[in-house]
Amino acid sequence: MKVIEVVHLVKKFGPLKAVDGISFAVEEGEIFGLIGPNGAGKTTTLRVLATLLTPTSGEARVLGLNVCKDGDRIRNTISYLPEEAGAYRRLRGLDYLNFMGEFYAHDRAEKQAMIARALEVAGLKERIRDRVGTYSKGMVRKLLVARALMHDPKLAILDEPTSGLDVVNSMVVRDIIKGYARKGTTVLLSSHNMLEVEYLSTRVALIDKGLVLEVGTPSELKAKHAAANLEDVFVRAVR
């Protein structure tokens, strides 16, 4: 089953083409990575799929639903974590998760199950009862990742999921993302860290100047370009 279908997608901001006719598809249970430099069109693509931006032309579908016509239905089944997301600084971490759970849960039991999952993902222990304003950037990011995954979304769209995390916590979050994918959550992620994308992703798309250059598994792309890692692949593909 295709969870995401993007066909000749274009997004303009005035005269600027942020996305210039890209096409790709993501299958159920995949971790699909978008890699490329700043300004390549990665975040714009994620925002279109999260129904936050309307495409200029082309087509984008999520779970068979059109992003232009079915935004409400799509938002009920996905989660989106922006790169620059924040949490309410005056709330305690646990209160924030309780607040966010109200948007997803249908009853008290479901909400409690969501919060239990979020606490495990966040891993903040006793600090979960402190105000978010006292957290480090990495602690806030872990709280936000927990919020994005707490309701077992069918599709998780993650922009720089480990931004601000140290090496140890980045590895923990990556393993959590892989665990959710094994349970059936499809993940679309973007990161400037190409080695992270290589570790996480089933397949990746190389994007530059609003165009998809290549799509394949990390192993396929490395073999094609005789490269040691995806950083080398991208440099050679751009050349």
pLDDT in tens, 177-234: 999 999 899 999 998 888 888 889 999 999 988 889 999 999 999 999 999 988 898 8
196 shares its domain with 92: no
For residue 193, the model assigns a pLDDT of 83
Which range marks the domain in which residue 160 is found?
A: 2-77+153-238
73 shares its domain with 7: yes
134 shares its domain with 93: yes
At which of 111, 136, 152 does a domain end? 152
pLDDT beyond 90 at 165: no
Min mean pLDDT across 53-57, 114-118, 167-171 is at 167-171
pLDDT beyond 80 at 4: yes
Q: Kindly report the backbone phi and psi dihedral angles of residue 19, in degrees, each rounded to the nearest multiple of 5, phi listed first.
A: -130, 130
49 shares its domain with 122: no
Mean pLDDT over each residue of the chain, to the nearest integer: 91
161 shares its domain with 61: yes
Measured between alpha carbons, how far is 59 from 70 in angstroms, rounded to an integer? 13
39 shares its domain with 115: no
For the segment 60-75, the average pLDDT, to the nearest whole number, is 95
Proportion of the chain above pLDDT 70, given as a percent? 100
- The total number of structural domains in the chain stands at 2
**How many C-beta atoms surround the C-beta of residue 118 within 10 A?**
26
pLDDT beyond 80 at 239: no
Return all residues near 213 (Cβ < 8 A) that are at least 6 apart: 206, 207, 237, 238
For the segment 70-85, the average pLDDT, to the nearest whole number, is 90
For residue 162, the model assigns a pLDDT of 87
pLDDT beyond 90 at 63: yes
For the segment 97-112, the average pLDDT, to the nearest whole number, is 90
pTM of the model: 0.92
Closest CA to 77 of 203, 159, 186: 186
Read off the pLDDT band of 83 (50, 70, 90).
confident
129 shares its domain with 225: no
CATH of the domain at 220: 3.40.50.300
Both tokens assigned to 121: 């993902």
pLDDT in tens, 15-55: 999 999 999 999 999 999 998 888 888 999 999 999 999 99
Q: Amino acid identity, residue 51?
A: T
59 shares its domain with 163: yes
72 shares its domain with 157: yes
At which of 152, 177, 205 does a domain end? 152
